[in-house]
């Protein structure tokens, strides 16, 4: 089986006792890349080689996923808040000497990127978010169609230990069931990447990490989002949002309108694919991301 991203150097660091794992490579201005659920940094394998010709890529596994640490659950879900995950990502960039950088992020990683840019505007120069609307808006505007398509949002936030036990009973089946139920099925996923997702899903503590990630999004993360709104805080960086025209996010939400409520500079549109843009439509993603991030190098 062909290795995934093995030309990029692995790295690890500790932040508050939690291991942060990732890969780095390329040349040029720094670009942080954050994956989604139930994946790892391996999801970038179809776009990373081309991006690395222009940028120094730092691809991080979120806590609870990949080969990063899996801290224990806590009562208020702080350990898996997007604020804590954003601080992991910030520490990874500082570890490599990067104080300011662009961010390309998908799904759960895009929610981390949103919080990172809100909490640390001096660090994030611009960000490109893939197939999400703001978390608070998605919960507030949940419809029957969205609940059916994103059933895992409501399954994973149920009290322990039931969701964890069901995932741990067959982690590979969980990965394949969630990913394979989307627009394109399992066809877009390279065998090496899918094997990585399955390997990491089976690591001890992954089920807890996944559930706590979603429980945090339904609790403490919403508190942080409401605080931003009450204070009138909005993203100040250039923001590009892309979503799959065959995905549930674009069908169920007015993605650009919702982001204009949360950011000052918004652009973006749908792409001819489903949820997993980087693997379903890598060429289209490169056509959008390269000029967007290269604008920073020319300014």
- Kindly give, in sequence order, each residue whose CB lies less than 8 Å from that of residue 132, ignoring residues fewer than 6 positions away: 107, 110, 111, 114, 138, 241, 243, 249
CB contact at 8 A, 234 and 262 = yes
Measured distance CA(58)–CA(60) in Å, rounded: 6
Q: Is 245 helix (H, G, I), strand (E, B) or coil?
A: coil
Measured distance CA(63)–CA(70) in Å, rounded: 6
By the 10 Å C-beta count (0-12 exposed, 13-18 middle, 19+ buried), 202 is classed as middle
- Closest residue by Cα to residue 43 from 3, 7, 4: 4
Looking at 61, 88, 107, 131, which residue is catalytic?
Answer: 107
Looking at 35, 37, 41, 275, which residue is catalytic?
Answer: 275
Strand locations in the chain, DSSP E?
9-15, 18-26, 29-34, 55-60, 101-106, 124-130, 235-244, 263-271
φ, ψ of residue 70 in degrees (nearest 5): -130, 80
Helix/strand number for the chain, H first, E second: 15, 8
Number of neighbouring beta carbons within 10 Å of residue 201: 25
Q: Is 21 a catalytic residue?
A: no
3-state percent breakdown (helix, strand, coil) of the chain, nearest 5: 45, 20, 35
Q: Is 170 a catalytic residue?
A: no
Catalytic residues: 107, 275
């Amino acid at each position: 089986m062909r290795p995934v991203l093995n030309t990029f150097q692995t790295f690890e660091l500790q932040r508050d006792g939690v291991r942060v794992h990732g890969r780095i490579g390329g040349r040029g201005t720094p670009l942080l890349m954050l994956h989604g659920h139930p994946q790892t940094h391996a999801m970038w394998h179809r776009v990373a080689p081309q991006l690395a010709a222009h940028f120094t890529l730092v691809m991080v596994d979120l806590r609870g996923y990949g080969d990063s640490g899996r801290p224990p659950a806590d009562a208020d879900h702080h350990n898996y808040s997007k604020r804590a995950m954003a601080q992991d990502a910030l520490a990874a960039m500082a570890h490599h000497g990067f104080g300011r950088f662009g961010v390309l992020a998908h799904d759960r990683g895009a929610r981390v990127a949103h919080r990172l840019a809100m909490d640390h505007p001096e660090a994030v120069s611009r960000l490109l978010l893939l197939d999400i609307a703001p978390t608070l808006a998605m919960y507030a505007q949940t419809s029957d169609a969205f609940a059916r398509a994103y059933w895992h949002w409501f399954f994973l936030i149920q009290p322990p230990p039931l969701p964890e036990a069901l995932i741990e009973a067959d982690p590979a089946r969980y990965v394949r069931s969630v990913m394979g139920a989307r627009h394109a099925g399992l066809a877009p996923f390279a065998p090496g990447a899918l094997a990585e997702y399955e390997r990491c899903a089976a690591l001890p503590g992954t089920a807890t990490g996944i559930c706590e990630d979603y429980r945090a999004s339904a609790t403490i993360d919403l508190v942080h989002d409401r605080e931003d709104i009450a204070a009138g805080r909005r993203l100040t960086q250039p923001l590009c949002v892309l979503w799959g025209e065959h995905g549930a996010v674009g069908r169920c939400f007015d993605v650009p309108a919702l982001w204009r409520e949360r950011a000052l500079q918004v652009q973006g549109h749908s792409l001819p694919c489903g949820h997993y843009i980087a693997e379903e439509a890598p060429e289209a993603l490169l056509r959008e991301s390269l000029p967007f991030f290269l604008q920073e190098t020319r300014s």
